[in-house]
Amino acid sequence: MDEAILQKEAMRLPPRERALLADALIVSLDDEEAKANEAAWVAEADDRLDAYRKGELEAKDGPGVIDSLKSKYGKK
């Protein structure tokens, strides 16, 4: 299948299905640097969850954080 046709058809998918397709394509690249980055983010997420469970890290709601950042840096 031609790349342009494939891209056009993929863009017709619902957003969730496009995201799953994009993820599958990225994983299929089997890039060692990407794997290392993903492993680092998983370790970071595990560390943050552990700190939260120990009471060392406070949870904040997403919309509140966005509002705070907009107030601090201005809405663009």
Q: Is 64 left (phi over 0), alpha (psi -120 to 50) or beta?
A: alpha
* Residue 16: per-residue pLDDT: 94
Taking residue 60's Cβ as centre, other Cβ atoms within 10 Å add up to 9
Q: Block means of pLDDT (10 residues each) for the chain, length 76 residues?
A: 90 94 84 85 96 95 92 81
Please name the residues in contact with 3: beta carbons below 8 A apart, sequence gap of 6 or more.
Answer: none
What is this structure's pTM? 0.49
* Residue 76: per-residue pLDDT: 60
* Residue 63: per-residue pLDDT: 94
* Residue 33: per-residue pLDDT: 82
